[in-house]
Amino acid sequence: MEIAIIAHDGKKAEMVQFLNQHSEILHKKGIHLISTGTTGEKVTKAGFSVNALMSGPLGGDAQIAARVAEGKCHMVLFFRDPLDRHPHEPDILMLMRLCDVHNVPLATNPATADLLVKAL
C-alpha cells in the first residue's frame, strides 16, 4: 500500500512526530511512503524510508495527484497549515479534488490521519 505524506513548513515537525507515533503500524503493514521533497527530507532524517518527489511548490503536489489518478497512491496524509498562504494553492486543491474523484482517503490534520492509520 502506498501512502503519500505532505506537510506544509509549519507542520513538518508534526508530521515527523505523527510518523514516529505510528511507526509500528506502518512497518507492520509494509507501507510504502511517498512524499513531496522537503517533507521527505525531514522524514528521512527521522529514520523513515520514503520516496521523495519534487518540492510542493515545484510540482510535488501535482506528482502525487497524478499517482492518485493512476491508482498508485492509496491514501494521502496532508498536514496543511490553514493560517499561511501557499503560492501553489491550485496544485493543493487539485490533489484534494482528485482524492475525492478517485475515492482516496485524505487526512488534512493529525486527528483524521490517526483514524485512517489505525484503520489499517
Tens of pLDDT, residue by residue over 3-32, are 999 999 999 999 999 999 999 999 999 999
Q: Are 110 and 22 in contact (CB under 8 A)?
A: no
Exposed / middle / buried, residue 47 (Cβ in 10 Å: 0-12, 13-18, 19+):
exposed
Tens of pLDDT, residue by residue over 32-71, are 999 999 999 999 999 999 999 999 889 999 999 999 999 9
What are the φ/ψ torsions at residue 3 (nearest 5 degrees)? Answer: -120, 130
Q: How far is CA 47 from the centre of its chain?
A: 17
Binding residue numbers = 8, 12, 36-39, 55-56, 88
B/e letters for 102-118, b = 16+ CB within 10 Å, e = fewer, are: eebbbbbebeebeebbe
Q: Which residue has the cell 521527505?
A: 40
Q: Are 41 and 55 in contact (CB under 8 A)?
A: no
How do the domains of the chain map onto residue ranges? 2-118
Q: Model's pTM, two decimal places? A: 0.95
- pLDDT for 97: 97
Q: Which listed CATH number (3.40.50.720, 2.60.120.260, 3.40.225.10, 3.40.50.1380) goes with 2-118?
A: 3.40.50.1380
SS3 state of residue 111: helix
- pLDDT for 84: 80
Binding residue numbers for substrate = 8, 12, 36-39, 55-56, 88
Q: Are 6 and 18 in contact (CB under 8 A)?
A: no
Tens of pLDDT, residue by residue over 67-103, are 999 999 999 999 999 888 777 788 899 999 999 999 9
Active-site residues: which are they? 61
- pLDDT for 57: 87
